[in-house]
Amino acid sequence: VTGASFVVFNGALKTSSGFLAKSSIVEDGLMVQITRETMESLRQALRDKKDFKITCGEMDGGDVKEYVDICWVENEETTNKG
């Protein structure tokens, strides 16, 4: 679990890169590089206020995967304290 001050979603990742998605720490935030198709799905999920999971890593990387979960919560007062 990583806490971040901001999140940047970059929809310019090429399908030919061999990655499903890539995430990296940038200063005190998180940058997630995703394909255009994933960006469209993410936008729709945000409009619909639905949870969304982005799987990061190589397409043929085996079992070890990293995930970026976007979750809507009922009570955000306790979620972002500290």
Does any domain span residue 76? no
Contact 63, 55 (CB under 8 A): no
CA torsion, ordered 58, 12, 33, 39, to nearest 10 deg: -100
Does any domain span residue 33? yes
Does any domain span residue 63? yes
User: What confidence tier does 4 reach under pLDDT thresholds 50, 70, 90?
Assistant: confident
Does any domain span residue 79? no
Q: Is the pLDDT of residue 82 over 60?
A: no
Q: Is the pLDDT of residue 16 over 60?
A: yes
Does any domain span residue 82? no
Q: How many domains does the chain have?
A: 1
Q: Which domain holds residue 40?
A: 6-70
Does any domain span residue 1? no
CATH of the domain at 60: 3.30.1360.220
